Chains A and B, each alone.
Chain A
């Protein structure tokens, strides 16, 4: 069955960096794009962008064009989200989701807490 398994919770200080992984299984990784979605505590879903798993080209939503980097390790069927220079407002759960467009499979979410 299709699965997206994300890395575990993170506790970081402002200014640090982190990298979240999303490992796909049950389908051909390069047949679908990978999308990223942010959910701040108690808030709704916010689209961050997507990465073309065939070419590696990322596309970022306007709010995520700085400090955020999407990448791939295709041989391991894994997508990554890196966040640099962490800020308190980056505290959220980050989801990967298979795409493009409609998101028909989701990772379980990776919780990130940024606090001094």
Chain B
């Protein structure tokens, strides 16, 4: 299985930039297509797709969210962070049998 590693917690101030990283144990890219996706989950709710294939904004997601990366290293950026963005964020790969990262909880500093 491809293991995805995320930092458990990231503390940020409102209006600042948040950078959430995800590292894969092996490449999740095929022919320049990066099969990494990002989700937001608030307490008591289902996850919501934010970014698909590393850098594509899902429908209805604000432009302050962006994604980048390739191979084994990926980043979700939120700029600027708003109060509504306080949540857990998960990366997920679909290069092989899907796996999720452990999640990063975004907290206020």
Contact across chains for A102 and B97 when beta carbons are under 8 A apart: no
- Return chain B residues, CB-CB under 8 Å to A46: 100
Nearest-neighbor residue (CB-CB) of B1 within chain A = A62
Main secondary structure of the interface of B (DSSP, over half): loop
- Return chain B residues, CB-CB under 8 Å to A97: 47
Tell whether B58 is near chain A: CB-to-CB under 8 Å.
Answer: yes
Interface residues of A in 16-39 (CB under 8 A from B): 35, 37
Given A95-B46, A95-B47, A108-B46, CB of A102 within 8 Å of CB of B100: no
Tell whether B81 is near chain A: CB-to-CB under 8 Å.
Answer: no
Q: How far is the CA of A100 from the CA of B35 in the complex (A)?
A: 12
How extensive is the interface on chain B, given as a class? 20 to 34
Nearest-neighbor residue (CB-CB) of B37 within chain A = A102
Interface residues of A in 39-81 (CB under 8 A from B): 44-47, 61-62
Q: Pick the contact of A103 from B1, B53, B92, B97 — CB < 8 Å?
A: B92
- Return chain A residues, CB-CB under 8 Å to B101: 44
Contact across chains for B103 and A44 when beta carbons are under 8 A apart: yes
Tell whether B71 is near chain A: CB-to-CB under 8 Å.
Answer: no
Interface residues of B in 71-89 (CB under 8 A from A): 88
Q: Size of chain A's interface in residues, with CB distance under 8 A?
A: 20
24 contacts between A and B (CB under 8 A): A35-B98, A37-B47, A44-B101, A44-B102, A45-B39, A45-B47, A45-B100, A45-B103, A47-B92, A47-B97, A47-B100, A62-B1, A97-B47, A100-B94, A101-B35, A101-B37, A101-B98, A102-B49, A102-B94, A103-B49, A103-B92, A104-B49, A104-B58, A108-B45
17 more A-B residue pairs beyond the given contacts A45-B41, A62-B1, with a C-beta to C-beta distance below 8 A: A35-B98, A44-B88, A44-B100, A44-B101, A45-B100, A46-B100, A47-B92, A61-B97, A97-B47, A101-B37, A101-B94, A102-B37, A102-B53, A103-B92, A104-B49, A104-B58, A105-B49
Residues in B lying within 8 Å of A, measured CB to CB: 1, 35, 37, 39, 41, 45-49, 52-53, 58, 88, 90, 92, 94, 97-103
Query: Which are the 3 A-B pairs with shortest beta-carbon distances?
Result: A101-B94, A106-B46, A45-B100
